[in-house]
Amino acid sequence: MSVEQAAVQRADFDQVMVPNYAPAAFIPVRGAGSRVWDQSGRELIDFAGGIAVNVLGHAHPALVGALTEQANKLWHVSNVFTNEPALRLAHKLVNATFAERAFFCNSGAEANEAAFKLARRVAFDRFGSEKYEIIAALNSFHGRTLFTVNVGGQSKYSDGFGPKITGITHVPYNDLAALKAAISDKTCAVVLEPIQGEGGVLPAEQAYLQGARDLCDAHDALLVFDEVQTGMGRSGHLFAYMHYGVVPDILTSAKSLGGGFPIAAMLTTEALAKHLVVGTHGTTYGGNPLACAVAEAVIDVVNTPEVLGGVKTKHHKFKARLEQIGEKYGLFTQVRGLGLLIGCVLNDAWKGKAKDIFNAAEQEGLMILQAGPDVIRFAPSLVVEDADIDEGLDRFERAAAKLTQA
Q: Is residue 4 in some structural domain? A: no
Q: Which of 303, 328, 354 is the last residue of a domain?
A: 303
- Same domain as 104, residue 232: yes
Picking from 31, 38, 36, 37, the residue whose alpha carbon sits closest to that of residue 8 is 38
Helix, strand, or coil here: 369?
A: strand
Q: Which of 268, 283, 303 is the last residue of a domain?
A: 303
- Say whether pLDDT at 3 is over 90: no
Q: What is the DSSP string of 259-282?
A: TTS--EEEEE-HHHHTTS-TTSS-
- Look up the domain containing 351 and give its range: 10-59+305-405
How is residue 122 annotated by DSSP? H
Cα–Cα distances (Å) from 230 to 7, 324, 380, in that order, read 37, 25, 12
Picking from 126, 114, 335, the residue whose alpha carbon sits closest to that of residue 226 is 114
Q: Is residue 66 in some structural domain? A: no
What is the H or E stretch that residue 253 is in?
Answer: strand 250-253
Kindly calculate the radius of gyration of the chain based on its CA atoms and give it in whole angstroms.
Answer: 21
- Same domain as 400, residue 289: no
Q: Which residues pair with 46 in a beta bridge?
A: 367
- Same domain as 166, residue 204: yes
Whether residue 107 contacts residue 143, with contact meaning beta carbons closer than 8 Å, is answered with: yes
> pLDDT tens digit string along 58-95?
999 999 999 999 999 999 999 999 999 999 999 999 99
Rounded CA gap, 204 and 208, in Å?
A: 7
pLDDT band at 6 (very low <50, low <70, confident <90, very high): confident
Rounded CA gap, 194 and 241, in Å?
A: 7
- Same domain as 258, residue 327: no
Whether residue 327 contacts residue 335, with contact meaning beta carbons closer than 8 Å, is answered with: no
- Same domain as 221, residue 141: yes
For the chain, the 3-state helix, strand and coil shares in percent, each to the nearest 5, are: 40, 20, 40
- Same domain as 236, residue 114: yes
- Cite the annotated binding site by residue number: 108-109, 141, 144, 226-229, 283-284
- Say whether pLDDT at 157 is over 80: yes
Q: Is residue 1 in some structural domain? A: no
- Same domain as 170, residue 181: yes
- Same domain as 203, residue 312: no
Whether residue 296 contacts residue 93, with contact meaning beta carbons closer than 8 Å, is answered with: no
| 129: CATH | 3.40.640.10
Domain count, the chain: 2
Cα–Cα distances (Å) from 387 to 31, 318, 383, in that order, read 17, 12, 11
Question: What is the structure's pLDDT at 1?
Answer: 38
- Say whether pLDDT at 2 is over 80: no
> pLDDT tens digit string along 196-232?
999 999 999 999 999 999 999 999 999 999 999 999 9
**Looking at beta carbons, which pairs linking 166-171 to residues 24 or more positions away fall under 8 Å?**
167/132, 167/133, 167/134, 168/133, 168/134, 168/135, 168/136, 169/133, 169/134, 169/135, 169/136, 170/135, 170/136, 170/137, 170/138, 170/140, 171/135, 171/136, 171/137, 171/138
Q: Is residue 89 in some structural domain? A: yes
| 28: CATH | 3.90.1150.10
Q: Is residue 284 in some structural domain? A: yes
- Same domain as 276, residue 261: yes
Cα–Cα distances (Å) from 43 to 30, 46, 237, 265, 367, in that order, read 10, 10, 31, 34, 10
Question: What is the structure's pLDDT at 5?
Answer: 66
- Same domain as 106, residue 35: no
Q: Is residue 356 in some structural domain? A: yes
- Cite the annotated binding site for pyridoxal 5'-phosphate by residue number: 108-109, 141, 226-229, 284
- Same domain as 254, residue 130: yes
pLDDT band at 406 (very low <50, low <70, confident <90, very high): low
> pLDDT tens digit string along 249-305?
999 999 999 999 999 999 999 999 999 999 999 999 999 999 999 999 999 999 999
> pLDDT tens digit string along 362-389?
999 999 999 999 999 999 999 999 999 9
Q: Is residue 68 in some structural domain? A: no
How is residue 255 annotated by DSSP? G
- Cite the annotated binding site for N(2)-acetyl-L-ornithine by residue number: 144, 283
Rounded CA gap, 341 and 318, in Å?
A: 10
Q: Is residue 69 in some structural domain? A: no
- Same domain as 190, residue 329: no
Q: Which of 303, 337, 370 is the last residue of a domain?
A: 303
